[in-house]
Amino acid sequence: MNQETIVIGGGIIGLLSAFFLARSEQEVVLLESGETGTEASWAGGGIVSPLYPWRYSPAITALAHWSQDFYPQLGERLREQTSVDPEVYETGLYWLDLEDEEQALAWAEREERPIRRVNIEAVHTAVPSLGDSFSRAIYLPGVANVRNPRLLQALRAALAKMPNVRILEHCAVTGFVRDGQRVVGVQTSQGEMRADQVVLAAGAWSGKLLATLGLELPVKPMKGQMILFKCAEDFLPSMVLAKRRYAIPRRDGHILVGSTLEDVGFDKTPTNDALESLRSTAAELLPALANAEVVKHWAGLRPASPEGIPYIGPVPGHDGLWLNCGHFRNGLVLAPASCQLLTDLMTGQAPIIEPAPYAPARRL
């Protein structure tokens, strides 16, 4: 018998959870309080790698490696199904003047990732637009970025074509419906809705919802601001990263520069201070941007969690309720593995990776 699942949240985690669950023949209802794909997933940079992968726990590495290998086929499948190209764009990534370069290289050797030292002259040959204030570099070939607004658009379009999926936008979830110990549905702005299982994938807002059950989920919003330039298509052939800031090229010459990390609650107003700081970063990384016009400036709210490790799995004492949230800065890179792992657990399949590090039972 097909089970019905409610997925709360229409960002990358909610959309991809719904996509994988629907492919496993579940009936899925996706609920989004606003419009799908307009919060943190839209606002991020789309690098298909943690910014500094060697600084994370093995739990993050396991999800990242699976997802990195999966992204090209996901992009291709969505493009074929929907005619929307998520633009999975392999550019490689240069880290400049790292303090922990030795740790990075040791991690790469251990994890069999092809990070290598590159002399700075070679970097300038490969990336002529790079500023000259840097003296050292390491490089990871093959790493991609994905054009996240288009990825979200493609997923939304793919779900709309699936007969076993319903998407309800402007439908805010305010609480859960319980029958004894079991969660059997949700209270929403459009009335009560029932299902066999409920998945909470509401990003930075997940903690507020879980609090209605008396549970404390340590996931909170962390604001990040970004700016966008438009350059010639060949202006920046690779992603570059220095001092926790980065520049990301899109295929059509758009360049994203980000990002800030601000603990200011649910405020996502772009600020002039951040604009000036990001412009200064842009000019240091790519001096030709010093006088370039900023095409767009925006902010989003990352779902910060302890060590950035997401919560994936069933909620103890609340049968029928599942979590897939708390991905902090890595929602886009970790999404495919996180959502496949959740689907495996919910449908009784062998999990793609060891699920214990993400289990809510150990961490709530």
Transcribe 215-275 into DSSP letters. Answer: -----EEEEEEEEEEE--TTS--SEEEETTEEEEE-TTSEEEEE---B--TT-----HHHH
What are the residue boundaries of the structural domains of the chain, listed by start? 4-54+150-218+306-363, 93-141+220-304
**Identity of residue 139:** Y
364, pLDDT greater than 90: no
Identify the burial level of 214 via C-beta atoms within 10 angstroms of its C-beta, where 0-12 means exposed, 13-18 middle and 19 or more buried.
Answer: exposed
What architecture is domain 93-141+220-304? Answer: 2-Layer Sandwich (3.30)
pLDDT at site 281: 97
Using a cut of 0.95, tell me whether the model's pTM lies above it.
Answer: yes
Residue range 296-324: mean pLDDT, rounded: 97
Taking the C-alpha atoms of residue 207 and residue 362, their distance in angstroms, rounded to an integer, is 17
pLDDT at site 3: 87
CB–CB of 87/63 below 8 Å?
Answer: no
pLDDT at site 311: 98
pLDDT confidence band for 64 (50 / 70 / 90): very high
pLDDT confidence band for 2 (50 / 70 / 90): confident
Residue range 100-129: mean pLDDT, rounded: 97
Residue range 289-298: mean pLDDT, rounded: 96
Taking the C-alpha atoms of residue 272 and residue 270, their distance in angstroms, rounded to an integer, is 7
Residue range 344-363: mean pLDDT, rounded: 96
pLDDT at site 1: 53
Taking the C-alpha atoms of residue 108 and residue 59, their distance in angstroms, rounded to an integer, is 16
**In terms of Cα–Cα distance, which of 13, 8, 12 is closest to 30?**
8
Strands 239-242 and 93-96 turn out to be parallel
What is the arrangement of strands in the sheet containing 4-8, beginning at the earlier edge strand? 165-168, 27-31, 4-8, 197-200, 321-325, 311-314
3-state secondary structure of 321: strand
**Identity of residue 129:** S
User: Which tokens hold the place of 306?
Assistant: 């302890």
CATH H-level superfamily of 4-54+150-218+306-363: FAD/NAD(P)-binding domain (3.50.50.60)
pLDDT confidence band for 82 (50 / 70 / 90): very high
CB–CB of 9/36 below 8 Å?
Answer: no
Compute the mean pLDDT over every residue in the chain, rounded to the nearest whole number: 97
Longest dimension (CA), the chain: 67
Residue range 274-279: mean pLDDT, rounded: 97
Write out pLDDT tens, residues 230-257: 999 999 999 999 999 999 999 999 999 9
Q: Who contacts 83 (Cβ-Cβ below 8 Å, separation ≥6)?
A: none
Q: Is the peptide bond before 206 cis (omega within 30 degrees of 0)?
A: no
Strands 296-304 and 220-230 turn out to be antiparallel
130, pLDDT greater than 60: yes
